[in-house]
């Protein structure tokens, strides 16, 4: 049986366009970051990852408008900066826009990485700004500090520097979980934009608010500098975490990718 291709957002029949997983403005702001690890090939590839399942109407309409709002957030909060642990910064946001944009990044990356999620798919109407969110969301932010002793050899650090990449200058998306909580969200995703590490958890609406709060508190036991982005506000003070990108990501995984990184750097 042939499946008829449908737009991942509106379900329409196309015509289809190539939608950036990492919005083009982020690559323009950080041109050295068009590099990503491809697990199947065990290679770092230089690419702007795109997906071809978004119709022109969604891509050039509501999704492009949403990216423009994301760009405002990124520029206003100077998300290309690096930070020292303990610094306090003010982060300005529009909650609904930020949530929609982070969900869009998660949804796009999940399809590009073949880690599809029904829960994210069900957010499509909300991302477009046409429907209510069908889940209760928790949005959190950790601003990590610039690593200086990341457990790397000097040569590894140099090879990273050669490529213009500091250890907290990258875009990454994926799932996260916490092991010490009884409650599991329906979906939990991280979105790393340089030093700004966002965490989104989506809960079924029948999970009581207290349980959701307890889950967030549980997360903050392990990661005390994760700040809750409150839906009722438009700015929050964030204390820069003691953790670096190496602590928030899977250190073993990153180190296991190091040979691929060195091959990548060597090939240039
Ligand atoms: Zn569409």
Report d(CA 117, CA 111) in Å as an integer: 8
Distance 15 CA to ligand 1 centre (A): 9
Question: pTM for this one?
Answer: 0.87
Distance 252 CA to ligand 1 centre (A): 39
Tokens of 255: 């180190």
pLDDT in tens, 12-43: 998 999 988 889 899 888 877 777 777 777 88
Backbone phi, psi, residue 195, to 5°? -75, -10
Distance 185 CA to ligand 1 centre (A): 28
Distance 112 CA to ligand 1 centre (A): 17
Report d(CA 256, CA 205) in Å as an integer: 39
Tokens of 101: 């944009």
HEC assignment per residue over the chain: CCCCCCCCCCCCCCCEEEEECCCHHHHHHCHHHCEEEECCCCEEEECCCEEEEEEHHHHHCHHHHHHHHHHHHHHHCCCCCCCCCCCEEEEECCHHHHHHHHHHHHHHHHHHCCCCCHHHHCCHHHHCCCCCCCCEEEEEEEECCCCCCCCCCHHHHHHHHHCCCCCCCCEEEEECCCCCCCCCCCEEEEEEECCEEEEEEEECCCCCHHHHHHHHHHHHHHCCCCEEECCCCCEEEEECCCCCHHHHCCHHHHHHCHHHHHHHHHHC
Tokens of 230: 């409150």
Distance 13 CA to ligand 1 centre (A): 8
With the C-alpha atoms ordered 5, 97, 37, 47, is the resulting torsion angle positive or negative?
positive
Report d(CA 225, CA 28) in Å as an integer: 30
Distance 123 CA to ligand 1 centre (A): 13
Distance 157 CA to ligand 1 centre (A): 43
pLDDT in tens, 208-246: 999 999 999 989 988 899 999 999 999 999 999 988 877
Distance 16 CA to ligand 1 centre (A): 8
Distance 235 CA to ligand 1 centre (A): 32
Could you read off the pLDDT tens digit of each residue along the chain, which spans 268 residues?
A: 567 889 999 999 989 999 888 898 998 888 777 777 777 778 877 777 888 999 999 999 999 999 999 999 999 999 998 888 899 999 999 999 999 999 999 999 999 887 788 999 999 999 999 999 999 999 999 999 887 644 556 665 555 554 444 556 778 888 888 877 778 899 999 999 999 999 999 999 999 999 999 999 989 988 899 999 999 999 999 999 988 877 776 666 767 777 777 777 665 4
Domains of the chain: which residue ranges?
A: 80-267
Distance 61 CA to ligand 1 centre (A): 9
Distance 225 CA to ligand 1 centre (A): 38
Distance 4 CA to ligand 1 centre (A): 14
Distance 21 CA to ligand 1 centre (A): 15
Distance 145 CA to ligand 1 centre (A): 39
Distance 119 CA to ligand 1 centre (A): 18
Distance 43 CA to ligand 1 centre (A): 32
Distance 190 CA to ligand 1 centre (A): 25
């Amino acid at each position: 049986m042939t499946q008829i291709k449908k737009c991942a957002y509106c379900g329409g029949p196309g015509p289809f366009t190539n939608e950036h997983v990492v919005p083009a403005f982020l690559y323009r702001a950080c041109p050295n970051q068009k590099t990503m690890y491809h697990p199947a090939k065990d290679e770092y590839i230089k690419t702007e990852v795109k997906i071809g399942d978004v119709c022109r109407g969604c891509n050039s309409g509501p999704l492009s408008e949403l990216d423009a709002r994301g760009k405002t957030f990124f520029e206003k909060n100077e998300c290309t900066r690096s930070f020292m642990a303990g610094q306090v910064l003010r982060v300005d946001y529009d909650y609904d826009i930020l949530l929609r944009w982070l969900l869009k990044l998660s949804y796009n990356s999940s399809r590009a990485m073949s880690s599809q999620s029904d829960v994210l798919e069900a957010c499509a109407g909300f991302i477009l700004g046409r429907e209510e969110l069908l889940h209760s969301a928790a949005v959190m932010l950790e601003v990590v500090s610039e690593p200086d002793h990341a457990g790397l050899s000097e040569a590894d650090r140099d090879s990273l520097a050669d490529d213009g990449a500091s250890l907290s200058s990258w875009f990454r998306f994926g799932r996260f979980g916490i092991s010490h909580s009884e409650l599991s969200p329906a979906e939990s995703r991280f979105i790393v934009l340089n030093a700004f590490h966002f965490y989104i958890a989506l809960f079924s609406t029948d999970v009581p608010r207290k349980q959701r709060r307890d889950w967030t508190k549980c997360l903050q036991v392990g990661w005390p500098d994760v700040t809750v982005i409150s839906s009722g506000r438009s700015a929050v003070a964030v204390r820069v975490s003691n953790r670096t990108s190496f602590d928030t990501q899977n250190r073993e995984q990153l180190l296991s990718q190091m040979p691929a990184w060195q091959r990548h750097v060597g090939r240039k």
